[in-house]
Chain A
Amino acid sequence: MRAIPTLKISISGVRGVIGESLTPALLTRFAQAFGTYVGSGTIVIGRDPRTSGEMVKQAVIAGLLSSGCRVIDIGMCPVPTIQLLVRHHHAHGGIAITASHNPAEWNALKFIGAEGLFLSSGEAREMLDIYHQGAYTKVAGAEMREVEEISGATDLHIQKILEVLGPLPQSAKSLRVVLDACNGAGSLVGPKLLEALGAEVIPINVTPNGLFPRPAEPLAENLGDLCTAVKEHGADIGFAQDMDADRLAIVSEQGIPIGEDYTLVLATLYVLGKQLGPVVANLSSTSVLQEVANRFNCPLFLTRIGEVNVTEEMQKENAVIGGEGNGGIIYPRINFARDSLTGMALILHLLAETGQTITDLVNSFPSFSLIKEKLVCPSHKISAVLRMLRHEYANYPLDLRDGVKVSLPNGWFLVRGSNTEPIIRVIAEAEREADARAIIHRVYAKVQECVN
């Protein structure tokens, strides 16, 4: 097999490995292409704490200024804060400098449009066209501006959350929360928000120095320290963020990770309890979400995977809550973005207002078993895999909007190629764990056979 590439240019942006393919010249050209795409408008930029962040930021600034943009630099902050600030400043776009859950040697640019939403696939293709054609807007020196550095972007974010949700209700006992920010972009703002809400905070991994104390994805297997801390401190809940603070995972008061999927489930439970309306999620989300929607008699719409697909559908359906099964909560009254800060506020309100524990809340739903696997797959083999599955499962209901999703009598599975890495993802869910395991074993084996 070929070596895994160190550069990935796609509709999700450009990502690559520092010291290899992600060079400052390439980044500058991308920023010029984006500046050209937005017509030399106002651009908000921010970054996560990766060690390469400053270099990447300067390359981006050079490209944006050169194409005549006004640049507002909000410094180190969560991606959803950048998205919020794009709206707040009525900017023409934004660039988030983060490789989200990729390891420390990676970095990336993610492009944000005028409303704070990531570029849709169509918009991203137009921008990539400009990049590849290489004819960028270049303004004369006299038309170039200074960078506007703005501090307090995250304070504005906290303020917005408090405005919409308010502090936690005064009760006999304040909630005790352990926060694991993965030394990421949420390191400084997370504890501040939790205090502002009125919770008691025990922070771990809140040194934003670009060193990863654990793998960035808030998956159960990466949350050992958090689980221990929750038990040690007798906390009511543990929160885990990823590097760019868009995703949120929860550890119960017993020190057990409840699974990323339940973040959206619990947030939806809280929001629908306050306001009925449509819910939007991607088609790899847990069936528990359907149970929640049914409980409130609200419609659930499933979309292709990717934040922008969810946010666009939410706008179309006027949804009250949405998100993704990987722990991304989108609450439009605050922000049209996957926002772990908003997610924490929603979940804590749920705990405070119901007086129930996380374990109780999770147990109030029929249990489903959701299993996620992935395997390395060269991109040119993905279509053969999908073709094989379409053929093999032709007699079952198929959803072909994003990879192949098959509804089986006792569960479902989804197989799709990743947008960001040369891997193929296999996800299966069933009410009984044994069924889920059986499905994933069977499908995984078929996919592996096809790849080899």
Chain B
Amino acid sequence: MKPLKIGITGVRGIVGETFTPEVAVEFSQSFGTYLDGGRILVCRDTRASGPMARAAVIAGLLAAGCEVIDLGVSPTPSLQLAVTWLKADGGIAITAGHNPSQWNALKFVRGDGLYLNPTQAEELLDIFHQGEFAKATWDQIKPALQHQDPIDHHIELLRSVFDVEAIKHRRLKVAVDCCNGACSRLIPLWLNEIGCEVLAINDDAGAPFPHAPEPKPETMAQLSAVVKAGRADIGFAHDADGERLGIVTQLGQPLSEELTLALATRIRLEQKAGTVVTNVSTTGAIEQIAALHGGTVVRTPVGQTYISEGMIEHNSVLGGEGSGGVAVPEIHSTHDSAAAVGLILEGLARSSKPVSKFVEDLPRLTMVKHNLPVEPNRLYSVLQNFRVGIEREQLTYDQTDGIRVVLPQGWIHVRASNTESMIRIIVEADETRSAQALLDWVRDRLNK
């Protein structure tokens, strides 16, 4: 199976197989065509294929007549903020986010710093498939690249939003694992700026990923050891491009990635009541926390663009999803682990409690996630059959994204992955045994 996934999150594939320089060139030329030339920012994460993809992207953009500003190795949210700062018309982030190192991808950012929405993504795909791109002539083409570093601007914005003095006053000791990703350039600096004592590991942007770039308990063992050995107040784990955040408590306990948004929600709603936007497969704990603090929850389909648009539509106070992505609207309505770090440290600084106490007070639900690889050609028929089965059992289901069914013991959510050829199953219940039973219930029906 050699999938190239072309979807609303951009184009993503395995380098050396489906993610070729031609694909990157032609997608970038399509994007340049879509934006009618204009000023485009480019950044990349630290994958070894990054320089190849960067060259292909720049070639495609220049050929379409764009003015290109290269941000080098930078987190995706730093690029998103720089789009408005540098008055650009859009950006391309070269990163496969939390995917393993053999993957790479292009993510397309529009002029307001948010990802293309599904309609816009479809328009871009139409240009790509049609293959008729804008081609600058010799007297239109831009003869040189420009360079900018977006990190200082990102930190400046973070400083203006969070209570830096309060955080400085607490003199927190913070352990951080940057997975040798793009955050290596941002997070340690940001933490220094707010007076934290930083225990950084895997903060070498020139080195390969030391573990999967997906902040989950199973990738946080090293960070947990550092928190314990260094007696840190908290540990933060990052993905390759600065969107997702994982947390280790001061006791060295790695938290499920679902708890990142839960913790952020609790801290945020204590400061400011309002609407929280998340997707249909994120923990039901968000509703329970919102109920306690007088907030409301809006659920969207899975995908950052839906959360961003939901946040703007509902004028929300927070957004995010169960993968560890948190969006703080005062910074921007898109996942930004540096903003999440700021929000959580501000919450800790204003209270005298350790982070484990915050976590203890969160609702305890058990969520189980399971990925079922399916050949690309069978993916949608398997899902179709599942839905038909549910209908036959006369169960009501939500089709915001995939199929979500609320059952007496909890809820189940089944959908095709946006990024890989697999079906993602998520179930949640009050306790482990019922969650396991729900998962079995889904798998039985998928295997029929």
Q: Quick check: is A345 within 8 A (CB to CB) of the other chain?
A: no
Chain A contacts for B59, CB-based, 8 A: 24, 27-28, 55-56, 58-59, 62
**How far is B140's CA from A144's CA once the two chains are assembled, in angstroms?**
32
Chain A residues near B135 (CB-CB < 8 A):
18-20, 23
Q: How far is the CA of A63 from the CA of B62 in the complex (A)?
A: 16
A141 to B14, CA, bound (A): 8
Q: Roughly how many angstroms separate A27 CA and B104 CA in the complex, as a whole number?
A: 21
A50 in contact (CB, < 8 A): yes
Task: Say whether B24 contacts A51, CB under 8 Å.
Answer: no
Contact check: which of B20, B49, B55 meets A58 at CB < 8 Å? B55
CB nearest neighbor in B for A147: B51
B contact residues around A53 at 8 Å (CB): 143
With an 8 A cutoff between CB atoms, is A100 at the interface? Answer: no
Interface residues in A1-51 (C-beta closer than 8 Å to B): 17-20, 23-25, 27-29, 32, 49-51
Residue of B nearest to A55 (CB): B62
Q: Cβ of B133: which chain A residues have Cβ within 8 Å of it?
A: 23
Out of A29, A56, A58, A144, which one reaches B15, CB within 8 Å?
A144
The minimal Cβ–Cβ distance linking B72 to chain A, given in whole angstroms, is: 12
Q: How far is the CA of A61 from the CA of B47 in the complex (A)?
A: 16
Residues A52 and B48 in contact in the complex (CB < 8 Å), given A62-B56, A138-B16? no
Q: Does A54 contact B (CB under 8 A)?
A: yes
Check if B141 sits within 8 Å of A145, measured CB to CB. no
Q: What is the bound-complex CA distance between A140 and B17, given in angstroms?
A: 8
Cross-interface CB contact of A51 among B20, B53, B143, cutoff 8 Å? B143
Which residues of B50-99 have CB atoms within 8 Å of chain A's CB atoms? 51-53, 55-56, 58-60, 62-63
B16 partner residues in chain A, CB cutoff 8 A: 66, 138-141, 143
Question: How far is B141's CA from A19's CA once the two chains are assembled, in angstroms?
Answer: 9
Confirm or deny: B1 has a beta carbon within 8 angstroms of a beta carbon on chain A.
no
The answer for the CA separation of A53 and B142 in the assembled complex, in Å, is: 9
Residues of B within 8 A of A61 (CB): 51-52, 55
Asked if B138 and A142 sit within 8 Å, CB to CB, the answer is: no
Interface string of B32-59 (1 = CB under 8 A from A): 0000000000000001110111011011
| Given known contacts A62-B52, A62-B59, A145-B51, A19 and B140 CB-to-CB distance under 8 angstroms | yes
Annotate B271-288 by CB proximity to A: 1 below 8 A, 0 otherwise.
000000000000000000
B48-A66 in contact (CB<8A):
no
Residues of B within 8 A of A51 (CB): 138-139, 141-143
Let me know if A145 and B48 touch, CB within 8 A: yes
Number of interface residues of B (CB under 8 A): 41
- Between-chain CB contacts (< 8 Å), 17 pairs: A17-B138, A18-B136, A19-B135, A20-B137, A23-B29, A25-B29, A28-B59, A53-B143, A55-B141, A62-B52, A66-B56, A104-B138, A140-B14, A141-B14, A141-B49, A143-B48, A210-B138
Q: How far is the CB of A99 from chain B (nearest CB, A)?
A: 10
User: Do A59 and B55 have beta carbons less than 8 Å apart?
Assistant: yes
Interface residues of A in 282-314 (CB under 8 A from B): none
Known: A18-B138, A32-B21. Contact between A54 and B145, CB under 8 A? yes
CB-CB nearest in chain A for B103: A141
Q: Contacts A51-B141, A51-B143 hold; do A66 and B101 have CB atoms under 8 A apart?
A: no
Given A24-B29, A32-B21, A62-B59, check contact A141 B141 (CB 8 Å): no
Question: B residues 243-275 with Cβ under 8 Å of A?
Answer: none
Contact with B along A60-87 (1 / 0, CB 8 A): 0111011000000000000000000000
Q: Is A221 an interface residue (CB 8 A)?
A: no
Please give the distance in Å from B96's CB to the nearest CB on chain A.
Answer: 9
Instruction: Give Cα distance in the complex from A29 to B103, angstroms.
Output: 21
Known contacts A28-B21, A144-B15, A144-B52; decide if A52 and B60 are in contact (CB<8 Å). Answer: no
In chain A, positions 92-114 with a C-beta closer than 8 Å to chain B are 104-107
Q: Smallest distance from the beta carbon of B236 to chain A beta carbons, Å? A: 26
- Which residues of chain B come closer than 8 Å to A20, judged between CB atoms? 135, 137
Per-residue B-contact encoding for A106-125, CB less than 8 Å = 1, 0 else: 11000000000000000000
B396 interface hit (Cβ, 8 Å) = no
B-side contacts of A138, CB under 8 Å: 16-17, 20
Cβ-defined contact, A105 with B22, below 8 A: no
Q: A17-B138, A24-B29, A66-B20 are in contact. List 4 more A-B contacts (CB 8 A).
A: A62-B52, A66-B21, A105-B139, A144-B15
B51 touches A209 (CB 8 A): no
Report the bound CA distance from A15 to B15 in whole Å: 29
One digit per residue, 1 when the CB lies within 8 angstroms of any chain A CB and 0 when it does not, for chain B 391-429 equals: 000000000000000000000000000000000000000
Closest Cβ of chain A: how far from B64's Cβ, in Å?
A: 9
Give a binary string over B194-210; 1 marks a CB under 8 Å from any A CB, 0 the rest: 00000000000000100
User: Cβ of A65 and Cβ of B58 under 8 Å apart?
Assistant: no
B178: which A residues are within 8 A, CB to CB?
A: none
Q: Which residue of A lies closest to B58 (CB)?
A: A58
Residues on B with beta carbons closer than 8 Å to the beta carbon of A107: 138
User: Hey, which chain A residues are within 8 Å of B53, CB to CB?
Assistant: 62
Residues B143 and A59 in contact, CB atoms below 8 Å apart: no
Given A51-B139, A62-B24, A147-B51, do A28 and B56 touch, yes or no (CB 8 Å)? yes
Provide the residues of chain B in CB contact with A163, threshold 8 Å. Answer: none
Q: Mark B166-190, 1 if CB is under 8 A from A, else 0.
A: 0000000000000000000000000
Size range of the chain A interface in the assembly: 35 or more
Distance, CA A143 to CA B62, complexed state (A): 27
A392 interfacial contact with B, CB 8 Å: no
Which residues of A177-192 are within 8 A (CB) of B?
Answer: none
Chain B CB within 10 Å — which of A50, A58, A139 has the most?
A58
Known: A25-B22, A29-B22. A141 touches B143 (CB 8 A): no
Complex interface: chain B residues within 8 A of A62 (CB): 21, 24-25, 52-53, 55-56, 59
Instruction: Assess the A63–B21 pair: CB atoms within 8 A.
Output: yes
Report which residue of A18, A51, A62, A146 has the largest number of chain B beta carbons within 10 angstroms of its beta carbon. Answer: A62
> Closest CB-CB distance, A138 to chain B, in whole Å?
5
Contacts of B321 in A (CB 8 A): none
Q: Tell which of A25, A51, A105 has the most Cβ of chain B within 10 Å.
A: A25
Residue of chain A at shortest CB distance from B208: A142
- The yes or no answer to B346 lying at the interface (CB within 8 A) is no
Docked CA distance A401–B15 (Å): 47
Q: Which of A116-173 contact B (CB under 8 A)?
A: 138-147
- Is B222 close to A, CB under 8 A? no
Report Cα–Cα, A27/B55, bound state, in Å. Answer: 12
Contacts of A50 in B (CB 8 A): 138, 143
Does B102 sit within 8 A of A, measured CB to CB? yes
Q: How far is the CA of A115 from the CA of B103 in the complex (A)?
A: 36
Cross-interface CB contact of A25 among B26, B141, B144, cutoff 8 Å: B26
- By the criterion CB–CB under 8 Å, are B55 and A141 in contact? no
Closest 9 pairs (CB-CB, A-B): A141-B49, A19-B137, A141-B15, A62-B56, A59-B59, A55-B62, A65-B52, A62-B21, A61-B55
Chain A residues contacting B101 (CB-CB under 8 Å) are: 141-142
User: Which partner residue on chain B sits nearest A20 by CB separation?
Assistant: B135
How far apart are the CA atoms of A50 and B138 in the complex, in Å? 8
Smallest Cβ distance from B17 to chain A, in angstroms? 7
Tell whether, in the assembled complex, residue A147 and residue B55 are in contact, meaning their CB atoms are under 8 Å apart: yes
Residues of chain B within 8 A of A63, CB atoms compared: 21
Instruction: Tell me which residues across on chain B come within 8 A of A145, comparing CB atoms.
Output: 48, 51
| B25 cross-chain contacts in A, Cβ below 8 A | 24-25, 28, 59, 62
Minimum CB–CB distance from A364 to chain B (whole Å) comes to: 44
Task: Please report the C-alpha to C-alpha distance between residue A24 and residue B65 in the assembled complex, in whole angstroms.
Answer: 12
Give complex CA distance A49, B143 in Å: 9
Shortest beta-carbon distance from A186 to chain B in Å: 18
Task: Give the distance in Å from the alpha carbon of A245 to the alpha carbon of B103 in the complex.
Answer: 42
Determine the distance from Cα of A105 to Cα of B22 in the docked complex, in whole angstroms: 23
Cβ-defined contact, A19 with B136, below 8 A: yes
